[in-house]
Amino acid sequence: MNSVLKVAVIALIFGLLAGCGFWGGGEEVQPAPLVDFSAENSVSVKWSANVGSGPGQRFHQMMPSIDGDKVYAADSQGVVTAFDRHTGQRAWSINLKEAVVGGVGAGFGQVLLTTRAGEVVALNGNDGAELWRFRLASEVTAQVQINREIVVLQQISGRVTALDRMTGEHRWSFDAQVPALTLRGTGIPLLAADVTFTGMSNGRLVALDNRDGELIWDQRVSVDEGRSELERIADINGRPLIVDNMLFVVGYQGRLLAINPFNAQVQWAQNISSYRSPATGYGNIYIADAQDNVHAYDAASSASVWSQSALTNRLLTSPSVLGNTVVVGDQQGYLHFMSQVNGRFVARYRVDSSGLQGDMLVRDNVLYVLTNSGRLAAITLN
């Protein structure tokens, strides 16, 4: 295990304990009990299927990916499977026989994965045939991002690398200094046509030119303040979000910022700590904070719209928006559906007792969920 990985693993342990308020010397804080409510919606499983042995219950950022009419997913042992996203029919499955850590990224007819050995593997989305490989200097734990020209990967060493999508040829790299202690995992880049926006382990959001990787601007999101290195952890582990030409990003022990993506000017800020990605709907920005409270902020003004505090310490996924609800998954495998209007619970469904950790996808009012044991489910809300 290399030194960077050791640091990241140690930081994950401490970061989660700190997030659960463990330092008081008493018993470990337990997940908040499920509250009673009158369900207003019913949950249906459109289809479900198994993806190998699943990502497992150790830390992972693995999630499914959709390209056209197919949804792709992988397990931690290298089984990669494509399904018809409407019916769940298996289109193909291959076994790389290599440990996969970065989940699946798909787009433009290709499927991209990263291995524990630090290789990027590109597959043909139609049949799973291998197209090319590229060896990186360090591990990638977050989903590969793809546009027409390049694929972008963020390594745990602090390096962001772009490869030619068709050939796998190295295009450019950008290096950022990584602090001594970080949360396990990395930010997930937001890859636009001309610019890549990504959060770094030093608490800064950077905008990189997709032609050559040159820094266009950077902005401080999280401030590494505190007496100990643990208190100074300031990672950005979520994916930035663009809504109506405004860029939203949130950091651990940091802030939620609304930023003009063209000049890096901060339009507003809210003090909140999160290591998850934001979501949007009904003119709001939704955040699951580090203590697993769910918040809604007005995207235009930053005003607090509502907060839901009944899910504390349940280790939530990033929020997703399905219909008129905000949905999060938790470590016990429950999906919690809340009204976008006021945050009240409207439905709950346990998709798998193995739990949820990777983020979920929504496409055409269908929620796609990959559980820790490898159950891939397409879920609708009625």
String of DSSP letters for 88-142: --EEEEEE--S-EEEEEEEETTEEEEEETTSEEEEEETTT--EEEEEE-SS---S
0.85 surpassed by pTM: yes
Region of 272 (left: φ > 0; alpha: ψ -120 to 50; beta: rest) is: beta
- Say which DSSP state 57 is in: S
Q: Which of 343, 334, 339, 295 is nearest to 315 (CA)?
A: 334
> Tokens for 193?
């046509």
CA angle 19, 100, 372 (to 5 degrees): 50
Instruction: Please give the pLDDT value at position 15.
Output: 42
> Tokens for 5?
């990985």
The answer to whether 318 touches 340, Cβ cutoff 8 Å, is no
Instruction: Please give the pLDDT value at position 157.
Output: 81
Bigger pLDDT: 70 vs 138: 70
The answer to whether 323 touches 309, Cβ cutoff 8 Å, is no
- For residue 216, give its domain range: 3-381
Instruction: Please give the pLDDT value at position 66.
Output: 97
Across the chain, mean pLDDT equals 88
Overall number of domains in the chain: 1
Instruction: Please give the pLDDT value at position 103.
Output: 76
For residue 179, is pLDDT > 90? no
Instruction: Please give the pLDDT value at position 43.
Output: 98
> Tokens for 167?
């050939």
For residue 26, is pLDDT > 60? no
What is the biggest distance separating any 2 CA atoms in the chain, rounded to whole angstroms? Answer: 55
pLDDT in tens, 33-63: 999 999 999 999 999 999 999 888 776 778 9
Tell me the percentage of the chain whose pLDDT exceeds 90: 71
Instruction: Please give the pLDDT value at position 352.
Output: 95
Specify the CATH number for the domain of residue 123. 2.130.10.10
Q: Which of 346, 345, 312, 310 is nearest to 331 (CA)?
A: 312
Q: Kindly indicate the confidence band of residue 203, based on its pLDDT and cuts at 50, 70 and 90.
A: confident
Q: Which of 333, 200, 340, 233 is nearest to 284 (CA)?
A: 340
For residue 6, is pLDDT > 50? no
pLDDT in tens, 286-332: 999 999 999 999 999 999 999 999 999 999 999 999 999 999 999 99
Bigger pLDDT: 185 vs 189: 189
Instruction: Please give the pLDDT value at position 368.
Output: 98
Instruction: Please give the pLDDT value at position 180.
Output: 47
For residue 18, is pLDDT > 90? no
Instruction: Please give the pLDDT value at position 22.
Output: 33
Amino acid at 117: A
Query: What average pLDDT does the segment 251-266 reach?
Result: 91
Instruction: Please give the pLDDT value at position 112.
Output: 96
Cα–chain center distance at 240: 10
Tell me the percentage of the chain whose pLDDT exceeds 70: 87
String of DSSP letters for 339-367: ETTT--EEEEEE--TT---S--EEETTEE
String of DSSP letters for 14-54: HHHHHHTTGGGSSSPPPPPPPPP----S-EEEEEEEE-TT-
For residue 232, is pLDDT > 60? no
pLDDT in tens, 85-126: 999 999 999 999 999 987 799 999 999 999 988 899 999 999
